[in-house]
Amino acid sequence: MTVFASTDYNAHEIVSHFHDPASGLRAIVAVHSTVLGPAFGGCRMYPYADDEAALADALRLSRAMTYKAALAGVPFGGGKAVIIGDPARDKSDALLTAMARFIDSFGGRYQTADDVGTTVGDMAVMRRITPYARGLADAAGEPCPATAWGTYHGLRAVARHRFGRRDLAGLSVAIQGLGSVGWRLAGYLAADGVRLVVSDIRPEAVARAVRAFGATAVTPDRILFEDVDILSPNALGAVFDDRTIPQLRARAIAGAANNQLARPEHGRMLAARGITYAPDYVVNAGGLIDVAHEGPGYDPQTVLHCCAGIAETVAAVLRRADRDGAAPADIADRMAEECLAAGADADKPLVSPGFRPYDIGALA
């Protein structure tokens, strides 16, 4: 199958494959758009079933990054890098160095950071070769909690829209995935008095959440179908499809996992079932906002303040979806495309960190 024949191809500017036999690296970089700035997207390492699955992930995630950046108001376009391999077994400094050379070859047109299967430590290795590996660690060696903080505020906006709640106390939330984002999100929600149901493929992570937050543990095959107020997917994508959507019992969905909808029509299926869906690339924009602030004068507290603004964007998407009688996923795409069209007509970039090139209320 060629790139152009892929159902996930969407007028991408660049799709490039790279193989380094010495390190075993096999990777794909997809640049979807540079209309609003250099393409940015995380570097994901995953044991894909085949090359077509890796290509589909790169194409879908890079497009989502374009839309994410447009609605977040940051000076980036959308891109994505995927490395085909098991990070636990195949990752090495030699592989990361080869990947850094590949990224550097784009001359800044594509920039990356840590993602599923890579870490801020990996980015530090890659920065020995290229300045286009972003993502800073805090004093403890951990990334800024921007994605989790933004997801928390996006979830609060969903609760206010769906349930008329200014607080979360007493609501029930099912968290799928207790990685860095899911774990921090669980802590924020527990502090608000939320009743948590949790699942992860790592039993030790689940046991820790039960001890720390009084969460109820369920198996990974059950978590999507729990009878809760809000379902929060924070693992891998494509969890909502023809099979899972009819079985959902949550009233709303807000999570940080990328590409939660298997296909665009599944957003409409959720709307038809009366399930309020906060589009994933709106909710999980915190990491992108964090990277946009990197540089002299970087202040994590300023980043978190900007991430709290994700609530405003989520609320605007949901209001317009109600007004237009459309699925929130379609509305978010429409709003992002309006921002991209404005950027394409401009003589200079419309966006800069912490500044929106549009009135989010007007778009709603």
What tens digit of pLDDT does each residue of 226-285 get? 999 999 999 988 999 999 999 999 999 999 999 999 999 999 999 999 999 999 999 999
Return the higher-pLDDT residue of 343 and 340.
340
Run of H or E including 111: strand 110-111
d(CA 234, CA 314): 17
pLDDT exceeds 60 at position 348: no
Decide: 324 and 364 in contact? Cβ < 8 Å. Answer: no
In the chain, CATH 3.40.50.720 sits at 144-364
In the chain, CATH 3.40.50.10860 sits at 14-67+76-126
Which pLDDT score, from 0 to 100, does residue 355 have? 42
Ramachandran category for residue 107: left, alpha or beta (phi over 0 → left; psi -120 to 50 → alpha): left
The values of phi and psi at residue 318, to 5°, are: -70, -35
pLDDT exceeds 70 at position 162: yes
* Segment 6-55, tens digit of pLDDT: 989 989 999 999 999 999 999 999 999 999 999 999 999 999 999 999 99
Return the higher-pLDDT residue of 129 and 74.
129
Q: Which of 12-26, 190-204, 247-261, 344-358 has the lowest mean pLDDT?
A: 344-358
Return the higher-pLDDT residue of 139 and 98.
98
Question: What CATH number has the domain spanning 144-364?
Answer: 3.40.50.720
Which pLDDT score, from 0 to 100, does residue 359 have? 53
Which pLDDT score, from 0 to 100, does residue 286 have? 94
H-only helix segments in 133-228: 146-163, 180-191, 203-213
pLDDT-above-70 percentage for the chain = 92
pTM of the model: 0.88
pLDDT exceeds 60 at position 353: no
Which pLDDT score, from 0 to 100, does residue 295 have? 84
Which pLDDT score, from 0 to 100, does residue 144 have? 76
Decide: 10 and 25 in contact? Cβ < 8 Å. Answer: no
Q: How many other C-beta atoms lie within 10 A of the C-beta of residue 277?
A: 30
Q: Is 91 among the residues known to form the active site? A: no
**Average pLDDT value for residue range 182-198:** 98
d(CA 28, CA 99): 10
Homologous superfamily of 14-67+76-126: Leucine Dehydrogenase, chain A, domain 1 (3.40.50.10860)
Run of H or E including 59: helix 51-72
pLDDT-above-90 percentage for the chain = 81
Return the higher-pLDDT residue of 318 and 346.
318
Amino acid at 24: G
Which pLDDT score, from 0 to 100, does residue 135 have? 83
Mean pLDDT of the chain: 92
Q: Among 68, 80, 91, 348, which one carries the catalytic annotation?
A: 80
